[in-house]
Amino acid sequence: MSTEKSRFPRPPFDQQPQQFPGLASAMHPLPDHGEKSYQGRERLVGKKALITGGDSGIGRAVAIAYAREGADVAINYLPAEESDAQEVIALIRAEGRKAVAIPGDITHEDFCKTLVERAVSELGGLDILVNNAGHQQFCESISELTTESFDATFKTNVYAPFWITRAAVAHLGEGAAIINTSSVQAFKPSDILLDYAQTKACNVAFTKALAKQLGPKGIRVNAVAPGPYWTPLQVCGGQPQEKVAHFGEEAPLGRPGQPVEIAPLYVTLAADENSFASGQVWCSDGGTGTA
C-alpha cells in the first residue's frame, strides 16, 4: 500500500531542459494528471467548460477531471503542444464527453475573441471558464529582463485572461463560474521571477474585483494559487536547471505537487454546491501556508 511519501515522485530529479513551451510527454518523471487515478462523482454533469493551457500541467488535469465529472470541454494550447493536446482530447472523449481542440496564441486579442466564439459554438454554450495558461521565464536581474520577455509574460498572464473573460461574459449565465490560475508568487515572489510574480498578483486583484462586478449576475469568480507543481512550465525556462533538480524540495511535504492533486480544487470551485464562494484565492502549496 502506498503512503503519502511514496505515492508521488520526490527530488532529486534529472536536469531536463526543453524549448518553450515544453511537453509533458517529454518530462521525467512524467507528471501525474490523473489519467489513471482521477475518479469523477458527477459534480459537473451537463456543464460546458473552456480551459486555456489545457494540453499539459494543471490545465490538463482539470480537463480530465471535468470530463470525468460529466462536463464537455474545450481546450486551448499553442500549436507546438499539439501532441500533448491530442492525448487530452482522447481522454475526454473516452469519458463520452464532447472534446474541442482550439490551438492558437492567446497573446493576440483577435484570437482570444475567436477562441471564445469557437468554444461557445462547438460546445453549445459556456458555463465554466478556466484562465489557466501561463508564461514563466526566470531572469536573474532586472537589468537583463528584456521588454520583449516582460511583454510576453504580461500578454499571456494578464492581457489574455482579460480579453478572454471579456468575450466570455456575454455567454455566461447565472450559476456560471470563472476560475483564474494565480500563484503563490503573488504573495511570496521569487527574485528570479520578477515579471511573473507581478502578473500573478494582477490575477488576484482581477479575481477579487471581477467577483464584485459579476456577483449581481450570479456569476462566481475565484482563483487558485498553486505552489511548486511538476509541469512543463518549470523545465522550459521557468526555473534554472539546477533548481529543477531540487524542485519542490523546500515544501514541508518535501516534493512538488502533481497536477492531479490540484484538479479537485478547480472542480470544487466550478461545482454548484459552492454557490456562495466567490472572490476567493485558494492556495495549494504543500504546507508552506503562503496564502
Residue 148 Cα to chain centre, angstroms: 23
The number of CA neighbours under 13 Å toward the Cβ of 180 is 33
> Dihedral of the CA atoms 221, 108, 137, 287 (nearest 10)?
10
Q: Catalytic: 66? A: no
Residue of 77, 196, 229, 266 marked active site: 196
Q: Are strands 48-52 and 99-103 parallel, antiparallel or unpaired?
A: unpaired
Read off φ and ψ for residue 248, nearest 5 degrees. 85, -5
Q: Are strands 128-131 and 220-226 parallel, antiparallel or unpaired?
A: unpaired
- Catalytically annotated residues: 196
